[in-house]
């Protein structure tokens, strides 16, 4: 589309996402809308040319939307409608970020903005059995960003949503989960062992995670382990002729570090697609395939979709998506995938191993495979954080995520907070199993295929 001839200049809004886009002749500025404030920062200001290269489209209703179509995966971002009252938006107060001229830390105001953003955009309070509390008193007492971080953490902790990670400079990130992950367990082990330094504690977590992977790979015949995707993909064929594919992330498959997020996703998708071609070729004659997602904290939906496409026989409706609540609620969209080009395994029996550490885009893959059918779910209930992360940042630099979307099965099941349950329950990464060097989950999965 020739954006230079299109009448698109002005203010556009995506209410369920709290986003505003101001298109001008030479630049495009994005803002986070919170109450009667507009939050901005340098990375939300693009040249008009850079904006035009982000795969924006205008639909028949005149709405604007980024649609990134690559390798047969059609990823749709939020929809922007032209603001009906252009003047009203211009009356809101613009708050600069700390990198910009005119910034002044106002702890009470920034806590209010944090509170308001969840009150307006978070969709799962009731789902998680939480009533969002009243705004704390004594807001003027917050004199430093570290105090603000602590106040925000106290507010949000009862929600127990793993997508709400608080990040501020060099302070330790604050994470909140409904069910402890393997990394939480390993971190607790380090603390109980008297390891006090934060960096040393995480060295222990990484070492235990590596041990866990080595135990899984010990089930492969000697010399038969394959690896790709920057170490995030491993596969082998067991002596029982069962394929095992271990997928430990839904991102970072290329090993490249690119500044542009869209270019990064495409590079990772290309690397993943190349690996998937080899995987399906190697495993096409197996009796069944075990997909191990137990240590997969998620990443990008596009990668999950690319994997699912390798197991489809025909165009398949795989999930639905909707954002916002009440007056902000968007229309429900149905997502359909077509089979990947080249070799696919549409009739291959699948068994997915999952755990409380299976999150986000990894859970979406499970949702899509359930729609495909001929799949068994085993392990533990997943974490229950399927929504994309709506990224927000306060003027002081405190970054956090909000779950503002519903991902639904084709039967309208919503797994946010509850997680996706399993048919065969098998504990994961228990201390006794690690000490013995065994993986009961993998053993039972292979046995299920072997004996039916």
Tens digits of residue pLDDT in 255-289: 999 988 889 999 999 999 999 999 999 999 999 99
**Would you say 445 and 290 are in contact if contact means Cβ atoms under 8 Å apart?**
yes
Over the chain, what HEC string results?
Answer: CCCCCCCCCEEEEEHHHCEEEEECCCEEEEEEEECCEEECCHHHEEEHHHHHCCCEEECCCCCEEEEEEECCEEEEEEEEEECCCHHHHHCCEEECCCCCCCCCCCHHHHHHHHHHHHHHHCCCCCCCCCCCCCCCCCHHHCCCHHHHHHHHHHHHHHHCCCCCCEECCCCCCECCCCCCCHHHHHHHHHHHCCCCCHHHHHHHHHHHHHHHHHHHHCCCCCCCCEEEHHHCEEEEECCCCEEEEEECCECCCCCCCCCCHHHHHHHHHHHHHHHHHHHHHHHCCCCEEEEECCCCCCECHHHHHHHHHCCCCCCEEEEEEEECCHHHCCCCEEEEECCCCCCCCCCCCEEEEECCCCCCHHHHHHHHHHHHCCEEEEECCCCCCCCCEEEEECCCCCEEEEECEEEECCCCCECCCCCCCCCEECCCCCHHHHHHCCCHHHHHHHHHHHHC
Do residues 442 and 292 make contact, with C-beta atoms less than 8 angstroms apart? yes
**144 lies in some domain:** no
Average pLDDT over the chain reads: 93
pLDDT at 391: 93
Q: Which pLDDT band holds residue 3 (cuts at 50, 70, 90)?
A: low
**Assigned domain for 304 exists:** yes
pLDDT at 382 over 80: yes
Distance, in Å, from the CA atom of 66 to the CA atom of 431, rounded to the nearest integer, reads 46
Q: Quick one: 84 and 194 in the same domain?
A: no
Task: Give a yes or no: residue 399 inside a domain.
Answer: no
Q: How many CB atoms lie within 10 A of CB 219?
A: 19
CA–CA gap between residue 279 and residue 340 (Å, rounded):
13
- Per the DSSP assignment, residues forming a β-bridge with 245 are 235, 291
Same domain as 322, residue 223: yes
Q: Are residues 299 and 423 in the same domain?
A: yes
State whether 79 and 227 are in the same domain: no
User: Is 30 domain-assigned?
Assistant: yes
Closest CA to 90 of 10, 6, 25, 7: 10
Q: Is the pLDDT of residue 5 over 70?
A: no
Q: pLDDT-based confidence at 41, cuts 50/70/90?
A: confident
Q: Provide the number of structural domains found in the chain.
A: 2
Highest mean pLDDT among 60-64, 175-179, 412-416: 412-416
Report whether 291 contacts 354 (CB < 8 A).
Answer: no
Q: Which of residues 93 and 41 earns the better pLDDT score?
A: 93
Q: Is the pLDDT of residue 65 over 90?
A: yes
* 144-167 burial: b if 16+ Cβ within 10 Å, else e: ebeebbebbeebbeebbbbbbebb
Taking residues 26-41, report their average pLDDT: 90
Q: Among 70, 95, 120, which residue terminates a domain? A: 95
User: What pLDDT was estimated at residue 224?
Assistant: 93
Q: Please state, for a pLDDT cut of 70, what percent of the chain lies above it.
A: 98
* pLDDT of 139 over the 80 cut: no
What is the average per-residue pLDDT within 349-365?
97
Rounded distance between C-alpha atoms, residue 418 and residue 381, angstroms: 8
Could you give phi then psi for residue 399, rounded to 5 degrees? Answer: -105, 145
In a domain, 283, yes or no: yes
Mean pLDDT within 365-375: 96
CATH number of residue 327's parent domain: 3.90.226.10
Give the separation between CA 107 and CA 395, rounded to whole angstroms. 10
Q: Is the pLDDT of residue 414 over 90?
A: yes
Whether residue 4 is predicted with pLDDT greater than 70 in this model: the reply is no
Bridge partners (DSSP) of residue 350 are: 289, 375
pLDDT exceeds 90 at position 40? no
Separation between Cα atoms, residue 353 and residue 337, nearest integer Å: 23
The C-alpha atoms of residue 85 and residue 89 are separated, in whole angstroms, by 7
Confidence of residue 2 (pLDDT cuts 50, 70, 90): low
Residues 81 and 195 in one domain: no
Take residue 290 and report the two structure tokens written for it: 């075990």
Average pLDDT value for residue range 32-54: 87
C-alpha–C-alpha distance, residues 254 and 74, integer Å: 20
Q: Is residue 179 part of a domain?
A: no
Position 50 pLDDT exceeds 60: yes
Over range 144-161, report the average pLDDT: 94
Q: CB 131: neighbour CB atoms within 10 A?
A: 8
For residues 90 and 225, state if they share a domain: no
167 assigned to some structural domain: no
Q: How far apart are CA 219 and CA 215, in angstroms?
A: 7
**283 and 415 housed in the same domain:** yes
- Do 198 and 73 have their domain in common? no
Residues 293 and 437 in one domain: yes
Answer with the one of 63, 95, 127 that is the final residue of a domain. 95
| Cβ neighbour number for residue 140 with a 10 Å cutoff | 10
Structural domain harbouring 77: 10-95
Burial (0-12, 13-18, 19+ Cβ within 10 Å), 135: middle
CA–centroid distance for 196 within its chain: 30
pLDDT at 137 over 80: no
Q: What is the pTM of this model?
A: 0.93
Residue at 131 is within a domain: no
Tell me the pLDDT band of 102, cut-offs 50, 70 and 90.
confident
| Residue 452 confidence (pLDDT) above 70 | no
Choosing from 48, 68, 95, the residue where a domain stops is 95
CB atoms within 10 A of CB 70: 16
Q: Does the pLDDT at position 334 exceed 60?
A: yes
Sign of the CA dihedral with 367 first, then 373, 378, and 381 last: positive
Q: Which range among 60-74, 80-94, 212-226, 348-362 shows the weakest confidence by mean pLDDT?
A: 80-94
pLDDT over 90 percentage in the chain: 81
């Amino acid at each position: 589309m020739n954006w230079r001839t299109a009448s698109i200049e002005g203010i556009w809004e995506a209410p369920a996402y709290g986003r505003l886009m101001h298109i001008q002749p030479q630049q495009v500025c994005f803002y986070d809308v919170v109450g009667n404030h507009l939050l901005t920062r340098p990375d939300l200001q693009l040249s008009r040319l850079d904006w035009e290269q982000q795969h924006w489209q205008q639909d028949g209703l005149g709405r604007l939307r980024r649609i990134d179509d690559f390798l047969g995966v059609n990823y749709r971002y939020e929809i922007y409608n032209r603001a009906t009252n252009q003047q009203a938006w211009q009356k809101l107060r613009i708050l600069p970020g700390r990198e910009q001229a005119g910034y002044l830390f106002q702890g009470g105001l920034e806590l209010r903005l944090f509170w308001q953003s969840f009150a307006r955009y978070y969709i799962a309070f009731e789902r998680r059995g939480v009533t969002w509390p009243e705004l704390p008193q004594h807001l003027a007492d917050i004199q430093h960003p570290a105090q603000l971080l602590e106040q925000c953490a106290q507010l949000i902790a009862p929600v127990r949503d793993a997508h709400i990670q608080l990040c501020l400079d060099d302070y330790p990130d604050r994470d909140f989960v409904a069910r402890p992950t393997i990394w939480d367990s390993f971190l607790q082990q380090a603390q109980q062992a008297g390891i006090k330094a934060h960096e040393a504690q995480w060295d222990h977590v990484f070492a235990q995670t590596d041990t866990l992977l080595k135990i899984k790979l010990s089930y492969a015949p000697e010399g038969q382990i394959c690896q790709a995707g920057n170490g995030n993909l491993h596969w082998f064929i067991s002596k029982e002729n069962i394929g095992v594919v271990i997928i430990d992330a839904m991102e970072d498959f290329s090993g490249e570090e690119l500044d542009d997020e869209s270019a990064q996703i495409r590079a990772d998708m290309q690397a993943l697609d190349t690996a998937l071609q080899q995987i399906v070729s190697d495993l096409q004659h197996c009796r069944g395939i075990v997909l191990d997602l137990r240590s997969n904290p998620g990443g990008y939906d596009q990668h999950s979709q690319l994997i699912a496409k390798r197991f489809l026989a025909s165009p398949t409706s795989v999930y639905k998506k909707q954002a916002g609540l009440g007056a902000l609620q968007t229309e429900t969209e149905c997502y359909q995938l077509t089979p990947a080009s080249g070799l696919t395994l549409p009739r291959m029996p699948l068994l997915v191993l999952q755990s409380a550490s299976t999150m986000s885009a990894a859970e979406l893959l499970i949702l899509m495979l359930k729609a495909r059918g001929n799949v068994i779910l085993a392990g533990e209930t997943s974490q229950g954080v399927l929504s994309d992360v709506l990224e927000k940042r306060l003027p002081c630099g405190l970054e956090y995520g909000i779950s503002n979307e519903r991902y639904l099965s084709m039967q309208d099941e919503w797994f946010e907070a509850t997680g996706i349950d399993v048919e065969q329950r098998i504990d994961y990464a228990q201390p006794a199993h690690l000490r013995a060097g065994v993986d009961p989950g993998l053993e039972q999965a292979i046995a299920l295929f072997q004996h039916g």
